Amino acid sequence: MLLPALTDFADRNDDFRVFVGTGFLVGVICALIAVATRGERPQFTQKLGFLLVTTVWLAACLIGSLPLYFSSVNVTFAGAFFESMSGLTTTGSTVISGLDTLPRGILLWRSLLQWLGGIGIIGMVLLILPSLQAGGLALFHMESSDKSDKVLPRVNQLTGGLIAAYVALTLMCAIAYTSLGMTFFDATNHAMTTMATGGYSTHDASMGYFDDNRILIASTVFMVLAALPFVVYVRAFLPRRFQLWRDPQILVFLVICAVLSFAIAVTRRIINDTPFGEALVSSTFNLVSVITTTGYASEDYTLWSNAAIGIFFLASFLGGCAGSTAGGIKANRLVVLYLVVRASFRRLVRPHAVIRLKYGNDDISAQTIQTVTIFFFLFFGTLLLGTVLLTMFGLDLITAFSGTLTALSNVGPGFGQIIGPAGNFSTLPDPALWVLSAAMLLGRLELVTVLILLFPSVWID
Amino acid sequence: MLLPALTDFADRNDDFRVFVGTGFLVGVICALIAVATRGERPQFTQKLGFLLVTTVWLAACLIGSLPLYFSSVNVTFAGAFFESMSGLTTTGSTVISGLDTLPRGILLWRSLLQWLGGIGIIGMVLLILPSLQAGGLALFHMESSDKSDKVLPRVNQLTGGLIAAYVALTLMCAIAYTSLGMTFFDATNHAMTTMATGGYSTHDASMGYFDDNRILIASTVFMVLAALPFVVYVRAFLPRRFQLWRDPQILVFLVICAVLSFAIAVTRRIINDTPFGEALVSSTFNLVSVITTTGYASEDYTLWSNAAIGIFFLASFLGGCAGSTAGGIKANRLVVLYLVVRASFRRLVRPHAVIRLKYGNDDISAQTIQTVTIFFFLFFGTLLLGTVLLTMFGLDLITAFSGTLTALSNVGPGFGQIIGPAGNFSTLPDPALWVLSAAMLLGRLELVTVLILLFPSVWID
Ligand SMILES: [K+]
Ligand SMILES: [K+]
């Protein structure tokens, strides 16, 4: 699966011979982890599993960074690693400026990293992470959306379905982009980074380069599709028990998108006097881009107004649906958090009432509540500590805070003069890039997978 | 208790006759609530309790705002209400500039509001809020620190002890300030706002006006004392079972203070080349001021470095100990959150281990965990929504975010050009002041007390 894409790519750019080698390495590593995860002895599953998942991502990022580091692009190793991590975690923050004049090989490499990272995270969340919970805390119960092993009895079928859906959607997206006037190269790259909710572009101006509302609308549609739980598409492929609205997070996510987009358009109508129709298209595109954690921009939306900035800031936390390529807190957790708060308010008023929490048709277990809760602590704790660390390397508060946030949520652009949608991460010092790389990995692997490794008692028997 | 102080005050400023009236009103309201809380029928306790507590605070703020609104100070009603709320919640954010030339009556009124708000919150958290949990969720279990009804069998004794401790510490603080060269008026005012961890000053330059390291050190000591759980002093008064270190939050709080102060001093030594000894005094004073949620400043610490800003930003979240006059997340919750995260990591690695959580010598109940968790959600949820609301009124992101934070945590100063330690809230539009007033009340009443009233199901039977 990896090699054809990589070969096709290497063909196109014979000056980067290192690509073939790295592509091969990635393939080997992937095979190794697949074997290792299967052959693992049961009693070692938990510790080894977390260690393996983290190691594989780190190794993949290392491999992904090599072509960038050895290429003609002027980046430090920290920069190359950051760029690769930003690709594979589908964050999309970049240290490279002057994308328009970059070798096409490098551009395609960046897009491929995101595309592979996208299917990688869907696969990992649905297939590998649930096995880590076996017999333990149902840590990723919500990620698997609804017992996928019931929906599709066999893992192979699910894997095949996911890949097919991902490829099909990417193709459809590429065709849509091409038909709307993008070159084949731009369409391919943007289709890959759209479906990965990655946000890497082949132009410094991102989607603004094309200056075409129809492209923005098409992109909006595919970003939303990419941020829905992918099990939906697999069910669509094998259409028994197909119930799109059974998963409450989908409705919640779509409603949040609609409300916030509308709110931004309204503020632009009032504050900037932008015609509402025009404002609605670009507001929806940029808001959907942030909330799906894609990170494209059609223009510098932080110039619209403080009110718009506030909404984009909120959207940077929220994220898409679990089981998709999107990051952030995610709509399923928002649903659970809301239900938990409501239940505890009710208990406070009616101490003797028996309250059962239901996520869709399923009861929410105490373990699920704990899992979501822990994620929330870790998210905000990491956000604050990351901010403090970055200020230690001289970053101002807004850059440090929004940088950590955008990395943890895998969004891409931050706020402020430096890393806002019109800026990039090229001026940040190397130590800051390392911190942000760590934050991207933490966010992508749902925090606990990595943080548990830092916890001493894990290593004591 | 209220009237002597108010009379003493009215004597001094015969031009403000409205003070006597308002003072009397506060007394009457306090008496009313005391009667109402006792005479309440059991089945109405929960709902009525939350409603009453919120109403009383709102009424007190309204009363407190009247002298400011009708005085010679040039403020809108929103400004006067904000100032009064900021006083009674011991936040200390101010819309008034030119404090040095203000009538002394107004200055004393502001200090008195904070001082009364300080003892009010200690009393409420220890005496009234636990009764709201009767038969229901142990929502304020942690706030009452350790079953105060066991430490002191009778509520009257506890109340008397708390007031005595509060008055005694305020007197000691005033004596310390006077002996270090403050005028009697300045010493009295600052002693009251120190023990309330309020932060109102009689000078625009805050504690920087006195330019005396000995005053900073004395102030630091008393701020720390004010941020410790007050039950400690009551136990000291009645010295059976006196164990200062039994409550783990005290040690955690002191260690955090020491580590962060030291860290700031180090960054100033490295970045600003400030001599370490000199840096340590002012770093400790300003950091303790923020973490105890007092909010004094000896200089504009946001000019020191981005690294210092990062640490002050973190400190704005943390807060002091529960059962004190301090706000913020509070050390007891930090302890519980840490234990919960650790336990869930352990469970993940050792699925079959039985893990009991202990806070000091006491088991942590599932209800306590839920209470702390809910607080955490509400805190960050309110913080984000408050930020978005404030940007709607035109505030920039850093002012909106740090303004909401500083209000929710009852700290006082925010970050950025406008509401930083060198600025004030006078330029904010009225709607923003209302939002911030609400945030201060929410933070002071531990969020749930107020938010539960906004929840429809509370009103449905
Ligand atoms: K992204
Ligand atoms: K304060």
**What pLDDT, on the 0 to 100 scale, is given for residue B37?**
57
Q: Do A137 and B452 touch (CB under 8 A)?
A: no
**Which tokens belong to A54?**
């983290």
Average confidence score pLDDT of chain B: 80
> For residue B5, is pLDDT > 60?
no
Q: What is the model's pLDDT at position A388?
A: 93
**Interval A417-430: pLDDT, tens:** 888 888 888 888 98
Residue B91 annotated as part of some ligand binding site: yes
* Cα B80 to ligand 2 centroid, rounded to whole Å: 17
Nearest Cα of chain B lies from the Cα of A328 at a distance, in angstroms, of 14
Flag whether pLDDT at A307 surpasses 60: yes
Q: Averaged over B384-407, what is the pLDDT?
A: 92
Q: Which residue has the higher pLDDT, B39 or A167?
A: A167
Q: Within a 13 Å sphere around the CA of B123, how many CA atoms are in the beta-carbon half? A: 21
Nearest to B391 among A306, A317, A395 (CB): A306
- B73-117, pLDDT tens digit by residue? 778 888 889 999 999 899 988 888 888 888 888 888 888 889 988
Interchain CB distance below 8 Å, B309 and A396: yes
Ligand index nearest the alpha carbon of residue B324: 2
User: Does position A327 have pLDDT exceeding 90, yes or no?
Assistant: no
Minimum mean pLDDT among A93-97, A119-123, A125-129, B203-207: which range? A125-129
User: Any known ligand binding at B194?
Assistant: no
Which of A135, A378, A384 is nearest residue B317 as measured by Cβ atoms?
A: A384
Residue with more model confidence, B110 or B454: B110
CA distance A50 to A336: 25
Annotated binding residue B45 = no
pLDDT at A380: 93
Q: How far is the alpha carbon of A72 from chain B, nearest alpha carbon, in Å?
A: 34
What is the average pLDDT across A73-86? 87
Question: Which tokens is A439 given?
Answer: 């934050």
What residue in B sits closest to A267 (Cα-Cα)? Answer: B392
Q: How confident is the model at residue A65 (pLDDT cuts 50, 70, 90)?
A: confident
- B residues 383-402 lying closer than 8 A (beta carbon) to A: 384-385, 387-392, 394-398, 400-401
- CB A122, CB A201: distance < 8 Å: no
Model confidence at A406: pLDDT above 90: yes
Which of B384, B455, B458 shows the shortest C-beta gap to A314? B384
Dihedral class, residue B365 (left if φ above 0, else alpha if ψ from -120 to 50, else beta): beta
- The residue among A373 and A38 whose pLDDT is bigger is A373
By the CB criterion, residues less than 5 angstroms from ion ligand 2 are B 91-92, 199, 293, 295, 412
- Residue B187 in tokens: 């010493």
- Nearest-CA distance B112 → chain A (Å): 34
The pairs formed by B246-249 with CB atoms below 8 angstroms and a separation of 24 or more are B246/B146, B246/B360, B246/B361, B247/B145, B247/B146, B247/B321, B247/B332, B247/B360, B248/B332, B248/B335, B248/B359, B248/B360, B249/B321, B249/B322, B249/B330, B249/B331, B249/B332, B249/B334, B249/B335
Residue A238 reports pLDDT greater than 80: no
Res. B181 pLDDT band, cuts 50 70 90: confident
Q: Angle, to 10 degrees, between the axis of helix B2-12 and the axis of helix B18-39?
A: 170
Query: For the segment A120-179, what is each residue's pLDDT rounded down to a tens digit?
Result: 888 777 766 665 553 222 323 333 444 444 444 556 677 788 888 889 999 999 999 999
DSSP notation for A145-182: SS-HHHHSS-HHHHHHHHHHHHHHHHHHHHHHHHHTT-
A2 touches chain B (CB under 8 A): no
- Average pLDDT value over all residues in chain A: 80
Across the A:B interface, residue pairs with CB atoms under 8 Å apart total 163
pLDDT in tens, B307-362: 899 999 999 999 888 888 888 888 888 888 888 888 888 777 776 777 777 777 67
User: According to the model, what pLDDT value does residue A130 have?
Assistant: 62
* Nearest-by-CA chain B residue for A400: B310
Compare all CA atoms of chain A with the CA of B453 and give the residue at the minimum distance: A345
Residue-wise pLDDT for B41-55, tens only, equals: 445 556 777 777 788
Residue A353 pLDDT > 80, yes or no?
no
pLDDT at B106: 83
Cα→Cα distances A351→A404, B43, B380, Å: 40, 11, 26
- Return the pLDDT at A245: 56
Q: Does the annotation flag B411 for ligand binding?
A: yes
Q: Which residue has the higher pLDDT, B46 or A4?
A: B46
Check CB contact under 8 Å for B390 and A310: yes
Q: Residue B239 has which token pair? A: 């010295």
Q: How far apart are CA B158 and CA A269, in angstroms?
A: 58
DSSP code of residue A365: P
Residue B27 has a pLDDT of 64
pLDDT band at residue B38 under the 50/70/90 scheme:
low
Query: Is the pLDDT score of B384 beyond 90?
Result: yes
Structure token digits, residue A360? 């869709």
Q: What is the DSSP-derived secondary structure letter of residue A125? A: I
Taking only residues 127 to 186 of chain B, the set having a beta carbon closer than 8 angstroms to any beta carbon of chain A reads 135-137, 139
Q: Which range among A280-289, A356-365, B39-48, B221-230 shows the weakest confidence by mean pLDDT?
A: B39-48
By mean pLDDT, which of A75-89, A141-155, A184-198, B119-133 is the weakest? A141-155
Most confident residue range from A195-209, A324-338, A382-396: A382-396
Read off the pLDDT band of B459 (50, 70, 90).
low
Q: Which residues of B touch A400 (CB under 8 A)?
A: 306, 310
Q: State the nearest Cα–Cα gap between A269 and chain B, in angstroms.
A: 13
**pLDDT recorded at residue B141:** 36
Q: Which of chain A's residues have a Cβ under 8 Å away from the Cβ of B395?
A: 306
- What confidence score (pLDDT) does residue B437 get? 93
Q: Are A382 and A401 in contact (CB under 8 A)?
A: no
Give per-residue pLDDT as tens, B272-320.
888 888 888 889 999 999 999 998 888 888 888 888 999 999 999 998 8
Report the SS3 class of residue A363: strand
**B448 with A351: Cβ contact below 8 A:** no
Q: Per the annotation, does A404 bind a ligand?
A: no
**Which range is least confidently modeled, A11-25, A377-391, B65-79, B410-424?**
A11-25
Collapsing DSSP states into helix, strand and coil, what is residue A62? helix
Q: How confident is the model at residue A256 (pLDDT cuts 50, 70, 90)?
A: very high
ipTM of the prediction: 0.87
Extract the tokens encoding B113: 């509001």
Q: A434 falls in which pLDDT band (50, 70, 90)?
A: very high
Q: Kindly list the residues from chain B whose CB atom is less than 8 angstroms away from the CB atom of residue A314.
A: 384-385, 387-388
In the structure encoding, which two tokens stand for residue B345, read together?
A: 């990591």
Q: Collect all residues of chain B within an 8 Å Cβ-Cβ radius of residue A401.
A: 313, 401
Who wins on pLDDT, B388 or B5? B388
Measured in angstroms, the CA of A365 and the nearest CA of chain B are apart by: 14
Our measurement of the distance from residue B237's CA atom to the centroid of its chain's CA atoms, rounded to an integer in Å, reads 24
Which B residues 293-332 touch A at CB under 8 Å?
A: 305-307, 309-311, 313-314, 317
> Which helix or strand (DSSP H or E) is residue A427 part of?
none
B54 is in an annotated binding site: no
**Percentage of residues of chain A with pLDDT beyond 70:** 79
Chain A, nearest residue to B375 by Cα: A341
Nearest-Cα residue of chain B relative to residue A458: B349
Residues 203-232 of A with CB under 8 A from B: none
Contacts of B452 in chain A (CB under 8 A): 345, 348-349
- When comparing pLDDT for A128 and B422, which is higher? B422
From ligand 1's centre to the CA of A100, what distance in Å? 19
Q: Which of A378, A381, A387 sits opposite B313 (nearest CB)?
A: A387
Residue A7 assigned ligand-binding role:
no
Residues 103-132 of chain A with CB under 8 A from chain B are none
| Residues linked to residue A359 through DSSP beta bridges, in sequence order | A362
- Give just the sign of the alpha carbon dihedral A437, A439, A443, A446: positive
Q: Computed from CA positions of residues B323, B329, B331, B336, in that sequence, does the dihedral angle turn out positive or negative? A: positive
Tell whether the model's pLDDT for residue B249 goes beyond 50: yes
CA of B414 to the centre of ligand 2 (A): 11
- Find chain A residues with C-beta within 8 A of B47's C-beta: 349
Radius of gyration of chain A (CA): 21
Amino acid at B40: E
Within A205-305, where are the H helices? 213-226, 231-237, 248-267, 276-291
Select the residue of A340, A348, A387 nearest B452 (Cβ to Cβ).
A348
Q: Do A46 and B374 touch (CB under 8 A)?
A: no
Percent of chain B residues topping a pLDDT of 90: 23
Check residue B46 and give its pLDDT.
Answer: 66
Which among A370, A385, A400 has CB closest to B344?
A370
Residue A266 CA to ligand 1 center (angstroms) comes to 26
